[in-house]
Amino acid sequence: MNISLELLHPLLAAISAYLIGSVSFAVVVSRLMGLSDPRSYGSHNPGATNVLRSGNKLAALLTLLLDGIKGWLPVYAVVQFGAAYGLGQGTQAMVALAAFVGHVWPVFFRFHGGKGVATAAGVLFGIEPLLGLATLATWLIVAFFSRYSSLAALASALFAPAYYLLGHRIAWYVDDAVMLSAIVMSAILVWRHQANIAKLIRGEESRIGGKKLGSDSN
């Protein structure tokens, strides 16, 4: 019975994280605010950047925050309360990846999700606040100087695992499972930005604040 519970608790945690991640707030917020479905215009991507193309900044901000919170909450719950249920860093890694995958391939929306930038950021804050802050700072710096949201997302995705590894020498213990989870999330983020990468190379990518409707990074 103990062995079964040891397997059941991490599995339930991961499933719960996936279901939370599967709530597409770009669609939910747009519906509640009487806006068009973000999958029907612009890049057709259900993320904050595309919601911003509706002209409603509040809807975009709410989408961004809620997508980040749904990544942070499951991980934070395991970090803070998991020990009482025998949930260690292995479960933390599973939950982190599950919440992110839920956003990218949401079961509630026919597996048509966003690219996962905001949710990944929330996950990183849940794993370790300093890790989240370092990754967010990278996004802000690259976005400020380049004006490309997609380039900032790609840079953040590539640096996040390195920041986690660097943290071993600064503030926290590096767990192999969590490290692997961060690498997988980064790889998926880069893969989901293939169209953006091609546009960046051709010089056709939309800049932050631009009017051109194309691929985005959320």
In the chain, where the domains are located: 2-202
State the pLDDT at residue 89.
85
Q: How far apart are CA 114 and CA 48, in angstroms?
A: 9
Average pLDDT by stretches of 10, the chain with 218 residues: 63 95 96 92 88 92 96 95 86 95 95 93 94 94 92 95 80 76 95 93 82 57
pTM over the 0.75 mark: yes
Query: Token pair for residue 51?
Result: 């919601």
State the pLDDT at residue 86.
83
- Both ends of the chain: CA-CA distance in Å? 43
Query: Token pair for residue 125?
Result: 């804050």
Q: Say what the alpha-carbon torsion angle 138, 144, 147, 149 is, to the nearest 10 degrees.
A: 30
Q: Do the Cβ atoms of 153 and 195 come closer than 8 Å?
A: no
State the pLDDT at residue 64.
95
State the pLDDT at residue 208.
76
Q: Which one, of 114, 89, 96, 71, lies nearest residue 14 by Cα?
A: 96
Helix axes 57-81, 89-104, angle to 10 degrees: 160
DSSP state of 217: -
State the pLDDT at residue 201.
93
Q: How far apart are CA 182 and CA 172, in angstroms?
A: 15
State the pLDDT at residue 175.
78
Q: Where are the alpha helices (DSSP H) in 53-148?
A: 57-81, 89-104, 117-127, 129-146
State the pLDDT at residue 190.
95
CA-derived radius of gyration, the chain: 17
